[in-house]
Chain A
Amino acid sequence: MKDLKSQASRSTTPGKGGLTPEIQSRIGHQLRAMYDDVVRQGVPDRFAELIKKLDAPGGGSQSENGAGGSNDNNGRD
Chain B
Amino acid sequence: MPLTDSLRDDILAAVPSLRAFAISLSGNADRADDLVQETLLRALANIDSFQPGSNLPAWLFTILRNLFRSDYRKRRREVEDAEGNYAKTLKTQPSQNAHLEFEEFRGALEKLPQDQREALILVGASGFSYEDAASICGCAVGTIKSRVNRARSKLAALLYVDGAEDFGPDETVRAVIGGSGG
A33-B102, A39-B16, A41-B19 given as contacts; is B40 within 8 A of A47 (CB)? Answer: yes
Contact A46 B37 (CB under 8 A): yes
Size bracket of the A interface: 35 or more
Give complex CA distance A68, B15 in Å: 20
Contact B160 A46 (CB under 8 A): no
- A-contacting residues, B77-126, CB 8 Å: 88-92, 101-102, 105-106, 109, 120-121, 124-126
A34-B105, A43-B12, A44-B33 known; A51 and B44 CB under 8 Å? yes
- Contact yes or no, B124 A32, CB < 8 A: yes
Distance in angstroms between the alpha carbons of A48 and B16 in the assembled complex: 11
- Asked whether B152 lies within 8 Å of A27 as measured between CB atoms, the reply is yes
Q: Is B1 an interface residue (CB 8 A)?
A: no
User: Are A50 and B126 touching (Cβ within 8 A)?
Assistant: no
In the complex, are the beta carbons of B105 and A5 less than 8 A apart? no
Residues of B within 8 A of A43 (CB): 12, 15-16
A28: contacting residue among B12, B23, B45, B124, CB under 8 A: B124
Question: With an 8 A cutoff between CB atoms, is B34 at the interface?
Answer: yes
Distance, CA A28 to CA B41, complexed state (A) = 32
B31-53: which have CB < 8 Å to A?
Answer: 33-34, 36-38, 40-41, 44-45
Interface residues of A (CB under 8 A from B): 1, 4-5, 8-9, 12-14, 18-19, 23-24, 26-28, 30-44, 46-48, 50-51, 54-55, 62, 66-67, 71, 76
Residues of B within 8 A of A (CB): 3, 8, 11-12, 15-17, 19-21, 23-24, 30, 33-34, 36-38, 40-41, 44-45, 88-92, 101-102, 105-106, 109, 120-121, 124-126, 149, 152-153, 155-156, 159-161, 164-165, 167-168, 170, 173-174, 177, 182
